[in-house]
């Protein structure tokens, strides 16, 4: 089995485990009993450690690779992610509509300059 295939299968298992956890949390918040919800799935699947996402450098890099310590809180993880990616969200691209307007104004100014130059040097 190739290394990439095993990584993809591991990612699939992690996603399935995360979906099971989300279902349990939704059931707990909605007031249903967590113990009565799918006990056979909980017993047959060994617990998979929680992982954090890392940016993809290439197509061979797994999305979730570094296990998170159980003591870390959600706030600590979110603060780390915000500090890591804050610069990417702070960068703003130019609005496409504004770019089109600036391009049209520049093209019209250039045409007006050419017409003025033809008049100034050709007909005077």
With a cut of 60, say whether residue 104 has pLDDT above it.
yes
Quick check: 52 and 77 in contact, CB under 8 A?
yes
Q: What is each CA distance from 105 to 42, 102, 113, in whole angstroms? A: 64, 5, 12
pLDDT one-digit tens code per residue, 12-67: 999 999 999 999 999 988 886 545 545 554 455 555 555 555 545 555 555 555 55
pTM (2 d.p.): 0.29
Which range in 51-60, 73-82, 109-118 is most confidently predicted, on average pLDDT? 109-118
pLDDT one-digit tens code per residue, 79-103: 887 787 777 655 667 788 998 999 9
Domain boundaries, the chain: 3-92, 93-124
Query: What span, in angstroms and rounded, lies between the C-alpha atoms of 43 and 20?
Result: 12
């Amino acid at each position: 089995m190739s290394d990439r295939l095993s990584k993809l299968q591991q990612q699939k298992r992690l996603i399935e485990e995360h979906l099971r956890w989300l279902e349990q949390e939704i059931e707990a918040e909605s007031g249903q009993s967590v113990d009565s919800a799918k006990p056979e799935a909980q017993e047959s699947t060994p617990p998979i450690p929680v992982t954090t996402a890392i940016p993809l450098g290439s197509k061979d890099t797994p999305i979730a690779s570094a296990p998170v310590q159980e003591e870390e809180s959600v706030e600590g993880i979110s603060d780390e992610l915000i500090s890591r990616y804050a610069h990417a969200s702070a960068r703003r691209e130019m609005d496409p509509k504004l770019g089109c307007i600036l391009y049209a104004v520049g093209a019209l100014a250039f045409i007006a300059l050419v017409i003025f130059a033809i008049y100034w040097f050709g007909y005077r």
